[in-house]
Amino acid sequence: MARPSATEIRAGRRRVRVTHPDKLLFPDDGITKADLVAYLVEVASAMLPHVRDRPLSLHRFNDGLAGEGFFQKEIPRGAPDWVRRVRVPKQGGTVCHPLAQDAAALAWLGNQNCITPHVWTSRVDRLDRPDRLVFDLDPAGGDEDFGLVRRTARELRDLLSELGATAFAMTSGSRGVHVVVPLRRRYGFDRVEQAARAVADELVARRPDDLTTAFRKQERGGRLFVDVLRTRWAQTTVAPYAVRARPGAPVAVPLRWEELEDGGLPRAGALTLRDVPDRLGRDGDPWHDIAKAAGTLPGAPGERRAR
């Protein structure tokens, strides 16, 4: 029996055409393109507040995990007119990024074999003023280091609280955890990066045997990398609720802090495409109030958040 070359899926007010719906994007797990699109539509109500109005970079896998992936910033050719976009200056020209404004746009991304959308830390109306400060806790090893990641995330949360900032946590869906501070849009990227580096340096100074800010892997000595590079202009971070291009289809999932206590989440990739819709239906989005928590930069003199 011939497999369908295309089908349509309802996504909000639109019906989105999905080509080659039976294409295996995750061959070892039996997860198809249609499964990815259906997942994106199902989690759209939770995902969209965290991605809407943010320029996207697409991590695409036209042959699934069996082939090579590639990153694409420019909106793919043939994108429908209803997919919104923004043109952003770059050295020597501009780049036209797609935006994910609704469930249909998420479904369209899935049809482009975009397994993982990455988002800017600023929004289109004020691209020069980030509203997210992101620390990426990247362990040197695999899942065996996740205990250190959990501990470091909690210590970073406490340090940020000392400095007047509220922090949120998310699994990267890969090996580590992102600790995110929502910001009022008062500061440029240079100022945000400077503040992030000061916090990271203080955290590392408290535990230099376990942590490092060294960019070069050969200089890390097996220590956990406290990465603040996502704070720079045009840098992106994995979108909340995005699937990662790894076996099992793990997802970058916003967390409640108690999930990072010892004995909690066993590894960064523990929550998958098959788990997250039920989790959202049962517990809701732990980040649903993140925008309301936006404040000043950690440690900004005279600008600490009132408590």
| pLDDT tens-digit readout, 85-108 | 999 998 899 999 999 999 999 999
Q: Considering only CA atoms, which of 256, 260, 252, 257 is closest in space to residue 276?
A: 252
In Å, how far are 9, 31, 70, 113 from 26, measured between CA atoms? Answer: 20, 5, 16, 11
Predicted TM-score (pTM) of the model is 0.94
pLDDT at 58 over 80: yes
pLDDT at 301 over 70: no
Average pLDDT for the chain: 94
E strands, 234-286, are 236-238, 254-255
User: Residues 6 or more apart from 84 whose CB is under 8 A from it?
Assistant: 98, 99, 101, 105
Residue 79 C-alpha from the chain's centroid: 23
- Confidence at 6, pLDDT banded by 50, 70, 90: confident
Type of residue found at 22: D
Q: So what's the pLDDT on residue 3?
A: 65
In Å, how far are 119, 135, 165 from 127, measured between CA atoms? Answer: 12, 20, 22
Q: So what's the pLDDT on residue 11?
A: 97
pLDDT at 83 over 90: yes
Q: So what's the pLDDT on residue 305?
A: 41
Q: So what's the pLDDT on residue 172?
A: 93
* pLDDT tens figures, 196-230: 999 999 999 999 999 999 988 888 988 999 999 99
- Confidence at 302, pLDDT banded by 50, 70, 90: very low
